[in-house]
Chains A and B, each alone.
Chain A
Amino acid sequence: MRTSRSALAAIPLAAFLLAPLMTAAAEPPQPVAAAETYGQVLSEYQNAERDFSAAYQNATTDAERQKLFNEKYPDRDKYAARMVAVASARPDDSASVDAAAWAVSYTFNGAAHDAALKLLSERYAANGKITEAVQRLAYSQSPAAADALRKIVETNPNPTIKGYAAFALGQNLVNHDKSAEAQKVFEDVVAKYGDVKGGRGTLAEAAKGQLHEIRDLAVGKVAPEIEGQDVEGHPLKLSDYRGKVVVLDFWGDW
């Protein structure tokens, strides 16, 4: 399961944001007051996130950072459960789709994630406000995510959302070790939604990149040559390292 790769947005995730996501535990939704609104829950979450980030910036030792993590990192599962309650209480309110979309976007698994996924699929698959949510579903660990994405591809009238949902479906299948199925989906993206803007250019380019990775950069394939220069302008060639075990590390200083 790869949760750290985001194909539509090349944004390096800071380790402190990523770690809790990968360990997100499945917790039952908390009972909540039905009178809450989407805006209230959202601003409460944003404040908690801001407080955490500020405290994290000020922390000077690893022990302090760890303590902050344990005590102050906003529990997204709990906020998602409240979002689900908001959406369920007033399903026809225009903010309810935002609440459900938030809940599937900010969690990867668990009861609240599954409940929000069900709402999204059953009520909001054709909604125009789910662009970000469909992209996040690429990383959903729920077995129901693929079907929800398929339904969005079929029923949503917006070509951008259809295309993003199809692309996310392909990524989701890759993440669930279903590369053969994913290839068909990415071929479909190239054929049907290729012109939609996304990733580094269009969805066609992004999907071709994914197909190349599945076909040519999989475990068991010979690594393609890398030829270029180091920072001093000295030539550097991967094949010169044949005969050695090699770690290729795509890195940046951030």
Chain B
Amino acid sequence: MYPHERSLVKKLQNKPFALLGINSDPKDHLKEVIKKESITWPSWADESTDGPIARAWNVHGWPTTYVLDHKGVIRFKDLRGDAMEKAVEQLLAEMEKGEPPAAPK
């Protein structure tokens, strides 16, 4: 997971893109991992798989991913790897073209 995320963040560093983590490890462990794996993107410290954010988002499996467009609308769920990267690029292209994003339901 980490190498792909690192390269995605690096590749899109000049684009209007953010990778945000919601981490379920104890804080001490999270601190170590951020250092050891050179993680540059922010993560909420949810502190356990039963943390408040995981609960609010009904997350029961890890990793779980959501891709949001620039209006904050959920556009994709549970994508990984190349499929996730393609989805992000599609949304960035939409944004650059000024296409209206899907209307919220």
A200 at interface, CB cutoff 8 A: yes
A252 B62 Cβ-Cβ under 8 A: yes
Q: Say yes or no: is A54 at the interface (Cβ < 8 Å to chain B).
A: no
**B62 neighbours in A (Cβ, 8 Å):** 12, 250-252, 254
Interface contact A253-B20, CB-CB below 8 Å: no
CA distance A231 to B91 in the complex (A): 29
Chain B CB within 8 A of A31 CB: no
User: Is A210's CB within 8 Å of the partner chain B?
Assistant: yes
Selected from B15, B44, B55, B105, the residue in CB contact (under 8 A) with A200 is B55
Instruction: Decide: A6 and B104 in contact? CB cutoff 8 A.
Output: no
* Contacts known (A222-B72, A222-B73, A231-B34); A250 close to B92, Cβ less than 8 A: no
Question: What is the CA–CA distance of A218 and B69 in the complex, to the nearest angstrom?
Answer: 13
Contact across chains for B84 and A251 when beta carbons are under 8 A apart: no
CA distance A156 to B73 in the complex (A): 42
Q: Is the CB of A238 within 8 A of B25?
A: no
- The answer to whether A248 and B66 touch (CB under 8 A), given A223-B73, A224-B56, A231-B31, is yes
Chain A interface residue count, Cβ-Cβ cutoff 8 angstroms: 44
A213 partner residues in chain B, CB cutoff 8 A: 57-58
- Taking the complex as formed, is A21 at the interface, i.e. its CB lies under 8 A from any CB of chain B? no
A166 → chain B, closest Cβ, in Å?
17
- The listed residue (A10, A244, A251, A252) touching B70 by CB distance below 8 A is A244
In the complex, what distance in Å separates the CA atom of A236 from the CA atom of B23?
Answer: 13
Size category of the B interface is 35 or more
Q: Are B61 and A252 in contact (CB under 8 A)?
A: no
* Residue pair A244, B18 in contact (C-beta under 8 Å): yes
Interface residues in A1-52 (C-beta closer than 8 Å to B)? 2, 4-7, 10, 12-13
**Secondary structure of the B side of the interface?**
mixed
Please, which residues of chain B bring their CB within 8 A of the CB of A4?
Answer: 61, 78
**Interface residues of A, dominant DSSP:** loop
Q: How far is the CB of A164 from chain B (nearest CB, A)?
A: 15
- Minimal beta-carbon separation of B31 from chain A (angstroms): 5
Contact A231 B74 (CB under 8 A): no
A245 contacts chain B at the CB level, 8 A cutoff: yes
Give the distance in Å from the alpha carbon of A224 to the alpha carbon of B55 in the complex.
Answer: 13
**Contacting residues, chain A, for B23 (C-beta < 8 A):** 231, 251-253
User: Quick one: CB contact mask for A199-214 with B, threshold 8 Å, 1 for yes?
Assistant: 1100000000110110
Question: Is the Cβ of A223 less than 8 Å from the Cβ of B17?
Answer: no
Q: Once the chains are docked, how many angstroms separate the CA of A243 from the CA of B95?
A: 9
**What 1/0 mask marks residues of chain B from 7 to 25 whose CB sits below 8 Å from any chain A CB?**
0100000011111111111
Task: Report whether A226 and B70 are in contact in the complex, using a CB–CB cutoff of 8 Å.
Answer: no
**4 A-B pairs with least C-beta separation:** A5-B61, A209-B58, A213-B58, A248-B66
> What residues of chain B have their CB less than 8 Å away from a CB belonging to chain A?
1, 5, 8, 15-25, 27, 29-31, 33-34, 42-46, 49-50, 52-78, 84, 88, 91-92, 95, 102-105
Interface on A for B, CB 8 Å cutoff? 2, 4-7, 10, 12-13, 199-200, 209-210, 212-213, 217-224, 226, 228-231, 236, 238-239, 241-254
Can you offer 7 A-B residue contacts whose CB atoms are under 8 A?
A219-B74, A230-B44, A238-B20, A247-B18, A247-B67, A248-B20, A249-B19
